[in-house]
Structure 1
Amino acid sequence: MLNFFRRQSSSYKNDVLSGLTVALALVPEAIAFAFVAGVSPLIGLYSAFFLGLITAVFGGRPGMISGATGAMAVVVVALVATYGVEYLFPTVILCGLLQIAIGLGRLGKLIRMVPHPVMLGFVNGLAIVIGLAQLGSFKTLSEAGELVYLQGMPLALMLGLVALTMAIIWLLPKLTSAVPSSLAAILVVTFISIAINQMGKDSESHTVATVGDMLQTNQQAKVIADAKIAASATSGLAENANIFLEEDLVRNEDGKVIGIKEKAQEVAAVAATDDTLAEAPAEVGISGGFPKLYFLDDYEMVPMNLETLWIILPFAVVLCGVGLIESLMTLSLIDEITETRGQGNRECIGQGAANLVCGLFGGMGGCAMIGQSLINVNSGGRGRLSGITAAVCLLMFVMFLSDLITMIPMAALVGVMFMVVIGTFEWASLKMFRRMPRSDMFVMVLVAGYTVFMHDLASAVILGVIVSALVFAWQHATHLAADVKLNEFGSKVYQLHGPLFFASVASFKEMFDPASDPDDVVIDFYYTRVYDQSGLEAINGLAEKYQALGKRLHLTHLSDECRNLLDTAGDLVEVNVSEDPHYHIATDRLG
């Protein structure tokens, strides 16, 4: 199904229009991830701007989109909750510096170690996660302040508009490629939803949820959740902690929940009169000016000392690892889709520079966004201009067009993401189950399942690589064998086949019988390779046994590094340089 994305050609027009499409889809995601991290929506939007702009210019993968992501948000939420948002910004700066160091150290090439089954599991698990994440857009706040799924007419309207969005994205390219189908779908469905909302403005059951509604719903849910947490902390009053009656909620003129009555404060053991209302949260929105350096804003400065460093360092290291793994995996996926080659090391440096600047301007940090990158590719975005356009348009929305952006229906964005899910899932992998080795099938299912249930893409990839490495070691541990013969001089020759490393050392030792072997023994390494210290130690140990019996052992066709490291064998190592194989490794030229 990845071929679905290859139909688009590269052009400046496609880059600009696809960048606009991505910017529209970035707004609700940046807001949602900001709420996950426990920061204001504007912080999420500003983060998406800086990350998208800087990685588009300096990153190693044209056409890839970066921004505030859920993977990074779940890491920083504990930091923000424990130490305050002021500690977030130096953490993001330190994360950026670590990523730049990794790029300069040319460690981006490590992404080559990810096996194909891990990639398949990652892609399929990611598609499922993106699809399940859209179900949150089918929820609304009930009269009791709980998030519940839509029913009746609102659900029918939502499903109808989602289906219309998907139909436009699928059918429009068959008629014309002048406008990205995703952008056209968003615009058409937006106009339809505005008309529906105008006709049904007197009845909430006949309206369509918009980005603005999503913003308010998230804020209301957060207010109620915070009050419940405070209530749960008070012993003896647990029966009041999870129940808020209709009279306990404070609503504005439009009926939206904006606060909770004194009962919530009372449960939290805060003294107040019965008729006093809990402080209502400030109205939220996405309107703002150009971002300022965080130390010039109203944030309290944290002390720059070793104590602060020890607080932020663990979070920065985790953010660095999560961000780079997700970014490099996205890079590999876009490489496969576009049939081009990105630069992993340059992407590490670009991500680091973006997070560094993002932290300086009071952002929450981020990395490559797989969903938005696929929207960009699907819409024809192939060059750096697409990412630059997306970032600039996002800032323009915040500064000048926030009221219009909040009118976009969530149904249109959900439909776009559902098409991304369909295009991302590797459907051919379902047919490959009977033809794939069982070990590869297990790794693919493991990575996909971990991604879906744990919602941790970075850990899923690491787990998949570890399991694949263990499977490889187990399988190749039995591949070491030897052809044994006597040469014309009466020497016994062991010609090895297969790799010698930690898992095959036991098999290597069992091949030899020093006590019964003749006085002259030759071990020929022409068809094998010593891969690690365990193999070298096994050779040293075998040489000692032959020495103790007064027998002569010849080791031929060893690689240069093995000859240099073999100390116990000493002058017993006999080398025919003219016949020794030369081993070549991949260079960093494309790293």
Structure 2
Amino acid sequence: MFNNFNGTQGNVKNDLLSGITVALALVPEAVAFAFVAGVEPMIGLYAAFMMGLITSAIGGRPGMISGATGAMAVVMVALVAQHGVQYLFAAVVLAGILQILAGVFKLGKFIRLVPYPVMLGFVNGLAIVIFLAQLGQFKVTNALGDLTWMSGSMLYWMLGLVGLTMAIIYLLPKLTKAVPASLVAIISVTLLVHGLDLEARTVIDFVRDMVPENEKATVTLAGELPSFSIPMVPFNLDTLYIILPTAIILALVGLIESLLTLTLIDEMTDTRGRGNKECVGQGVANTVNGFFGGMGGCAMIGQSMININSGGRGRLSGISAALVLLGFILFAAPLIEMIPLAALVGVMFVVVIGTFEWASFRIIRGVNKEDAFVLFLVTGITVIADLAIAVVVGVIVSALVFAWKHATHIVAKTHTDEDGWKVYDLDGPLFFGSVSYFKDIFDPQNDPKDVVIDFKESRIWDSSGIDALDGLADKYKAQGKTLHIRHISSECQTLLKKASDYVEINVNEDPRYRIVSDKLG
């Protein structure tokens, strides 16, 4: 899985150069997502700077890039439209606090429970989303102020420059890996376009297409340092009622996307990030965003892929990307504004090709149809709806499939011991799905006076299992017989209080079981 990773080891030079590359790619994304959320471009750029800097410095996954994202931007639209940007800042602060609490209470570890087909669907879905987002760069504003698809020579130049960018990224590493191929491609295509005065749209053209006609001449990406300001909203329960739903969704979407991206990078680099620490890092970054005029955000899979494939491995890569982006905003906005969109689109197309798990087509032919269904389901929902919804639905469907498949797996072998007791050696989980099969195994009317259920190869998972065991004990008791239980886990013993008067528990041989450990976080 994820075999697009190149094996360049991280160092200061690679981190700095990859950081510059990422900073260039962050600009149009941050601006675009700001417009999606209904806020000014600079609010998106500030978010990209602060998210990238803070999460890289204190987060749990070195090499992962965070910034303003589309997944969170679409959640913000309604709040901004109805109540204004100050309420958005307050919601981002609250979302950050919720994310910090998630890290403090060590909830990040549960991302490890996301099934493999859901992970594949997440990766493939995001690759498609990134690809579709780039298609918007092939539109221009016509005389009526409407966006239309490119045509003629402008389209041909756009396609040619995108192809040239991709070719440089693929071919340059065969000659040298001294500098990131993506950075060389962006610089080369920029020099070519302006040196030959080619008909190509630039970053500033993209920004101007998104503002009203009377503002196009004055729009710029130049700005100043973000300043501290408490969100100008009433501090009362009415405000909390307004921002709480949005804050909860922002916190969940941000954590799901960030932790899944963390898992992806873990797979690519054969290292391990710290989920709970990343929750805290994301939370602190969003809280700071709300107080410094940013729209918040989370991990960005596209920019993270650019960073990893450009050689960025350490925290310095993300920190340098954020600082370089701030430098662009403060001192070098004209240079960023002249970068051709074709160069950035070419870089993102390479990311799409590298992100999409092409091996999933071969995997589908080799796995069961349930896993294939979950993969396609998560991919589709990610594309047409939302990442968080897709992952939640995928996990639920996977859990239901698991429950259905294991409901029929509970069986028992029987034998009679030296005392004449009939022993049922149970094999399989006892839970809500397998209760009916469990009840059919036993024969209280014809069994001897003493019956043993041996749980050495089984376990009681929930209250439905306990209730089924209690009901079975009642049936044996009604027949004047005794039901004995052996090898029950100590964790399950506390669930057996209802049956304690007539159930024998052999605690001397009981194994001890453990669930997900906090150490995983």
Q: 1:569, 1:309 → 2: CA distance?
A: 47
Q: Which residue of 2 aligns with 1:318?
A: 249
Deviation at residue 560 of structure 1 after TM alignment: 1.1
Comparing 511-520 with 405-414, which one deviates more in the overlay? 511-520
Match of 1:439 in 2: 370
Given the alignment of the two structures, is residue 391 of structure 1 paired with residue 322 of structure 2, yes or no?
A: yes
Q: CA offsets per residue over residues 86-140 of structure 1, 9 Å max, x none?
A: 1011110000000000000000001011011111111111111111111000000
Q: 2: CA distance between counterparts of 1:439 and 1:207?
A: 50
- Displacement, 1:303? 0.6
How far residue 488 of structure 1 moved from its aligned partner, in angstroms, is: 2.2
Structure 2 CA distance, aligned partners of 1:583 and 1:561?
7
Could you say which residue in structure 1 is the equivalent of 2:340? 409
Pairing of 1:545-584 with structure 2 (within 5 A) = 545-584=475-514
Change (3 A) 1:62 1:475: same
Runs of at least 5 residues in structure 1 that lack an aligned partner in the other structure? 198-205, 221-256, 259-279
Check the 8 A contact 1:41/1:285 in 2, yes or no. Answer: no
- Tell me if 1:37 matches 2:56: no
Equivalent position of 1:450 in the other structure: 381
* Structure 2 CA distance for aligned equivalents of residues 506 and 479 of structure 1: 12
- Match status 1:149 vs 2:149: yes
Which residue does 2:310 correspond to in 1? 379
Aligned length: 521
Partner of 1:293: 228
Partner letter of residue 452 of structure 1?
V
1:165 Cα offset (Å)? 0.3
Alpha-carbon displacement from aligned partner over 1:298-350 (angstroms, at most 9, x marks no partner): x8x21101110111000000000000000000000000001100000000000
1:584 Cα deviation after fit: 3.5
- Code of the residue aligned with 2:91 in structure 1: it is T
For 2:365 and 2:199, the matched residues in 1 are separated by 48
1:484-521 C-alpha deviation (Å, 9 max, x unpaired): 22222222211111010110011111112222222211
| 8 Å Cα contact 2:126-2:383 kept in structure 1 | yes
8 A contact 1:196–1:208 mirrored in 2 = no
Whole-angstrom distance in 2 between the partners of 1:518 and 1:194 = 93
Structure 1 residue 590, shift from structure 2 partner: 3.6
Matches within 5 A, 1:341-360: 341-360=272-291
SS in structure 2 opposite 1:521?
Answer: strand
Question: For structure 1, which segment, 323-332 or 539-548, has the greater mean C-alpha deviation from structure 2 after superposition?
Answer: 539-548
Aligned-partner residue type, residue 94 of structure 2: L
State the secondary structure of the residue aligned to 1:294: coil
Aligned partner of 2:171 in structure 1 is: 171
Give the match for residue 543 of structure 1: 473
What is the rounded CA distance, in whole Å, between the counterparts of 2:113 and 2:217 in structure 1? Answer: 49
8 Å CA contact 2:410–2:430 kept in 1: the answer is yes
1:281 Cα offset (Å): 7.6
1:543–1:568 contact (8 Å) kept in structure 2: no
Aligned twin of 1:521: 451
Output the CA distance in 1 between the equivalents of 2:175 and 2:457. Answer: 59
Distance 1:344 1:146 in 2: 44
State the 4+ residue runs in structure 1 displaced beyond 4 angstroms. none
Aligned residues of 2:111 and 2:260 also touching (Cα < 8 A): yes
* CA distance in structure 2 between the partners assigned to 1:548 and 1:314 by the alignment: 53
Secondary structure in 2 aligned to 1:434?
Answer: helix
Mapping of 1:129-278 within 5 angstroms? 129-197=129-197, 207-220=199-212, 257-258=213-214
Say if 1:14 and 1:381, in contact at 8 Å, map to a contact too: yes
Once structures 1 and 2 are overlaid, which stretch shifts more, 112-121 or 538-547?
A: 538-547
Q: Aligned pair 1:106/2:106, yes or no?
A: yes
Partner amino acid for 1:284? V
Contact 1:540/1:567, CA 8 A, preserved across alignment: no
Is the CA contact 1:55–1:350 (under 8 Å) kept in the aligned structure 2? yes
Query: What letter corresponds to residue 446 of structure 2 in structure 1?
Result: S
In structure 2, C-alpha distance between the alignment counterparts of 1:81 and 1:108, rounded to whole Å: 32
Q: Tell me how far 1:290 sits from its aligned partner.
A: 0.6
C-alpha separation between the residues in 2 aligned to 1:346 and 1:418?
31
* Distance in 2 separating the partners of 1:575 and 1:141: 77
Question: Which residue of structure 2 lines up, in the alignment, with residue 268 of structure 1?
Answer: none
Question: Once the 2 structures are TM-superposed, how far is the Cα of residue 571 of structure 1 from its aligned partner?
Answer: 3.9
Query: Aligned to 1:555, what secondary structure does the other structure show?
Result: strand
Conserved 8 A contact 2:473-2:503: no
**Counterparts of 1:16 and 1:141, CA distance in 2:** 36
One-letter identity of the residue aligned with 1:430 = F
Shift, 1:542, TM fit: 1.2
Distance, in Å, in 2 between the alignment partners of 1:4 and 1:163 is 19
**In the alignment, structure 1 residue 531 sits paired with structure 2 residue 461:** yes
Checking the alignment, whether the CA contact within 8 Å between 2:19 and 2:312 is kept in structure 1 is yes
Residues of 2 paired with 1:566 and 1:585: CA distance?
A: 19
* Post-superposition offset of 1:67: 0.4
Looking at structure 1, the residues matched to 2 and 406 of structure 2 have their Cα atoms a distance apart, in angstroms, of 33
CA distance in 1, matches of 2:225, 2:80: 23
Query: Quick check: 93-102 or 488-497, which moved more?
Result: 488-497
Q: What SS does the corresponding residue of 2:98 show, helix, strand or coil?
A: helix
Is contact 1:556–1:573 with CA below 8 Å preserved after alignment?
no
Q: Which residue of 2 aligns with 1:468?
A: 398
> Hey, what's the Cα distance between the residues in 2 that align with 1:192 and 1:281?
26
Name 2:71's counterpart in structure 1. Answer: 71
Unaligned ranges ≥5, structure 2: none
Shift of 1:2: 2.8
* Secondary structure of the structure 2 residue equivalent to 1:433: helix
| Counterpart Cα distance in 2 of 1:312 and 1:480 | 48
C-alpha contact 2:490 2:507 (8 A) present in aligned 1: no
Q: Distance in 2 between matches of 1:282 and 1:58?
A: 40
> Residues of 1 paired with 2:102 and 2:301: CA distance?
21
Q: Is the 8 A contact 1:493 1:523 kept in 2?
A: yes
Q: Secondary structure at the match of 2:6?
A: helix
Amino acid at match of 2:16: V
- Secondary structure of 2:294's match? coil
**Cα offset for 1:564?**
2.1
**Residue 451 of structure 2: SS of its match in structure 1?**
strand
Task: Supply the distance in 2 between the matched residues of 1:281 and 1:11 (Cα, whole angstroms).
Answer: 42
SS of residue paired to 1:2: coil
Partner residue of 2:412?
482
Cα deviations across residues 265-306 of structure 1 (Å, max 9, x unaligned)? Answer: xxxxxxxxxxxxxxx6883221111111134xxx8x211011
- In 2, are the aligned partners of 1:555 and 1:572 still within 8 Å (CA)? no
Structure 2 match to 1:228: none
Letter in 2 for 1:339: D
